[in-house]
Structure 1
């Protein structure tokens, strides 16, 4: 997992706007790192007390930085989504639109199915009030649409689907792969999805 940068993940509401002391910054970073692992494994179901235990801090420390579990989840998932958006945007000018599109598709399917928090976010679970996450998802959809249209124009992706179809397929695949015992099928599921998105008669 990528190291946590407190500045990059500074998204959730705080009880105070004063600058954090050095020890408080370290504690906040530890909480975020533990939360990334915990949410990736268990999604929103993980208790804040368990995150505190993994971070090696008291529950009060967690609550001082993140007054609710939703606030902490938002900080973690927003960082993940932001990185995904930047990755998709970096592929937008690729010389080969087809491989760029399928590379992003692979990242979405394998990344979300391997991280329950990202799967939850893509599915919209318990995120009705998370405006920043909604905005990040919108950016991800827009970036994905650019890649899809370029691949379609190049004849590398079938032309009878749109971005809503694509995101529904990705969400369905990632949620299915989150079921017990299904992780080993990730490559096979991606291959079926990839082949189904290619124009009829085209492979490789």
Structure 2
């Protein structure tokens, strides 16, 4: 079985390492621009952030939907991989959980607008949502279990509930400058702590 880094290119050949790095840089740049300006941001802004021409982006991602879906999948994977890393390096499981939730909020911000882009393809949207849940609920579960096991947080919350609550706090934040979803998410995560 091929490693994810050895994903086959168009002719079935493994892609070169520099091609994989270039695509990674494009996805990182697109995610950053989407956080700042939404998924309808001009492609030239993404190209400028990545230090490439717009033709390079279109060569990798022929349509905006292709780019948005690739960013979505890339960020799901980054979020999934971050959980164990944060748990291994964080000072406490609760601190790791808090940092992971912050990354999750970043992901949710870039996700806004995805439904509109995929509106004509409900099956595609459903598949992406299932992928999101399959990859991230177990990671959040592991972080919650570790923090509960260390006695830092209450143990009666399920990962899906927490993720859904965070998601609900993020809805509409991009349209209201008076609303700080991150602050409310911090309050939610603080509320997980066990009373002294």
| Residue among 70, 75, 84 paired with 1:80 | 75
Give the superposition deviation at 1:14.
Answer: 7.1
Q: Aligned in 2, Cα 1:25/1:149: closer, same or farther, shift over 3 Å?
A: closer
- CA deviation profile, 1:112-154 (whole Å, cap 9, x unmatched): 46xx314567x89838526577435522221111111222233
Structure 2 distance, partners of 1:170, 1:83, is 18
Q: How does 1:10-29 map to 2 (within 5 A)?
A: none
Task: Tell me whether 1:100 sits opposite 2:96 in the alignment.
Answer: yes
Structure 2 distance, partners of 1:26, 1:106, is 25
In structure 1, what is the equivalent of residue 173 of structure 2?
177
Partner SS state of residue 45, structure 1: coil
Partner SS state of residue 53, structure 2: coil
In structure 1, what is the equivalent of residue 189 of structure 2?
194
Alignment RMSD: 4.2
Give the superposition deviation at 1:33.
Answer: 5.5
Task: Tell me whether 1:66 sits opposite 2:61 in the alignment.
Answer: yes
Structure 2 distance, partners of 1:20, 1:96, is 39
Q: Aligned in 2, Cα 1:179/1:196: closer, same or farther, shift over 3 Å?
A: farther
Higher relative contact order (CA 8 A, sep 6+): 1
Q: Aligned in 2, Cα 1:161/1:140: closer, same or farther, shift over 3 Å?
A: same
Structure 2 distance, partners of 1:137, 1:186, is 22
Task: Tell me whether 1:149 sits opposite 2:142 in the alignment.
Answer: no
Give the superposition deviation at 1:26.
Answer: 9.3
In structure 2, what is the equivalent of residue 39 of structure 1?
34
TM-score, normalization by structure 2? 0.66
Q: Any unmatched runs of 5+ in structure 2?
A: none
Structure 1 distance, partners of 2:191, 2:91, is 23
Structure 2 distance, partners of 1:152, 1:53, is 44
- CA deviation profile, 1:75-98 (whole Å, cap 9, x unmatched): 223222222211101234567333
Q: Aligned in 2, Cα 1:17/1:44: closer, same or farther, shift over 3 Å?
A: farther
For the Cα contact (< 8 Å) 1:52–1:58, is it kept in 2?
yes
Report the number of matched residues.
187
Q: Any unmatched runs of 5+ in structure 1?
A: 1-6
